[in-house]
Structure 1
Amino acid sequence: MKRDDLLDAAEALLCEQGTQALTLSAVADRAGVSKGGLLYHFHTKEALVRGLVARLVEEFDALIASYDSGGPGAYTRAFVEANLAVVMDRDQSRLLRRWATVSAAAADPELLALVREAMHRWHDVDPADDPDPVAARMARLAAEGLWEVVIHDPGLYDEAQLEELRERLLEQL
């Protein structure tokens, strides 16, 4: 059993049943391993949630980097593209992953601090890196906010509307 398979099982439980369902026994059952097999990778529930947070941050950092072409304003454009890629993805597992992970981390101030560190890094961009720092901040917040809205109602915007929003946000930069 791979570590990512265990994290997938934990995310699935969170998305389907909420934070109260996230127990080590339930994750082990969902993953089809013994509790000892789970404990080999994650000694505590907190370690499991820490793994969820770390994976979420690493994957989103990699997605941003995949869109970052360098130069002035490139980071914010990449951030917008990465957020919209997740929102527009037909496989909604990435869309729900952040909600599930942050919900699980919210009960523990140390774990929530890891999420806050990432948010700080994603949003605290050097103003010199953007030609219009206020427009850049607005675009990052709008992209982030769209993700939050679509988590709660994935059908609120159709593909064409999301593409229009993406294009307009990028135009503003």
Structure 2
Amino acid sequence: MGRKPTISRDGLLTIAEEIVNADGPQTLTIDALAKAAGISKGGVQYAFASKDDLIRALVDRWTTQFDALIPDVQTVGPIGFVRAYIAAMRSSQAVIGAKMAGLMIAYMQNPKNRLSTVQWYSAILEKMGDTQEARTAKAAFLAVEGLFALRIWGVESNLDWQSQLDDIEAIFLDHTFGKDQQSPQPDR
């Protein structure tokens, strides 16, 4: 009968997030995680075979949490989806800024991870369709993603994230509903 694990894979991910938040993504190593969790390096490697596996698991965890905040495009339509997407970006800005930047760069170095990301974006863009409404929604979606990419590369320190999202949303809603029409209030 084997020894009962003292910490779960999910518990290790929580500790890994704490390391990233406290000291930055460059300090996340298998050794650092083992030390912070109070277990052996082998214990960490039992849960995550490599640092790449650990990073992938963190990104998968954050993606799952983020995806839970947004509805399916086909359920709410492209306009509803982009409005919900902007709201989700607003509410998750701390996660995006503190955790994602350095780890996303490391994550994207693996071709398998890039393919998974391309598939995620391709599925969303395909589900939006090709109507005029969908093209407007796609433009706003891509603007938000451009802002996200700037955050990954560290440019956000020169930008006010909330103001930029406000501007994208205002342009999107003005274009969608017209400046003279009453647009529905975004969910916040």
Question: 2-side partners of 1:101 and 1:118: how far apart?
Answer: 18
Which of residues 76, 85, 92 in structure 2 aligns to 1:86?
Answer: 92
Matching of residue 140 in structure 1 with residue 141 in structure 2: yes
Report 1:9-28 matches (<5 A). Answer: 9-13=15-19, 16-19=23-26, 21-28=27-34
- Give the Å deviation of 1:118: 2.2
Task: Give the TM-score normalised by the residue count of structure 1.
Answer: 0.73
Counterpart of 2:40 in structure 1 is 34
1:30-53: per-residue Cα shift (whole Å, max 9, x none)?
A: 333322331232233332222123
Q: Which has the higher contact order (CA 8 A, sep 6+)?
A: 1
Matching of residue 45 in structure 1 with residue 43 in structure 2: no
Which of structures 1 and 2 has the bigger CA Rg?
A: 2
Is the partner of 2:123 in helix, strand or coil? helix
Is the partner of 1:132 in helix, strand or coil? helix
Q: Please list every run of 5 or more consecutive structure 1 residues that lacks an aligned counterpart in the other structure.
A: none
Counterpart of 2:150 in structure 1 is 149
Question: 2-side partners of 1:95 and 1:123: how far apart?
Answer: 24
Change (3 A) 1:76 1:24: same
Counterpart of 2:120 in structure 1 is 118
Matching of residue 4 in structure 1 with residue 7 in structure 2: no
Question: 2-side partners of 1:55 and 1:27: how far apart?
Answer: 17
The one-letter amino acid paired with 1:117 is Q
Q: Which runs of 4+ in 1 moved over 6 A?
A: none
Task: Give the TM-score normalised by the residue count of structure 2.
Answer: 0.68
CA-based RMSD of the aligned residues comes to 3.2
- Give the Å deviation of 1:121: 2.8
Q: Please list every run of 5 or more consecutive structure 2 residues that lacks an aligned counterpart in the other structure.
A: 1-6, 177-188
Change (3 A) 1:167 1:17: closer
Change (3 A) 1:140 1:63: same
- Give the Å deviation of 1:71: 4.6
Work out whether residues 11 and 97 of structure 1, in 8 Å CA contact, stay in contact via their aligned partners in 2: yes
Question: Identity over the aligned pairs, expressed in percent?
Answer: 28
Work out whether residues 24 and 35 of structure 1, in 8 Å CA contact, stay in contact via their aligned partners in 2: yes
- Give the Å deviation of 1:12: 5.0
Change (3 A) 1:131 1:5: farther
The one-letter amino acid paired with 1:120 is S
Matching of residue 65 in structure 1 with residue 88 in structure 2: no
1:45-99: per-residue Cα shift (whole Å, max 9, x none)?
A: 3322221232122112111139x97356322222222223323xxxx23433332
Matching of residue 75 in structure 1 with residue 81 in structure 2: yes
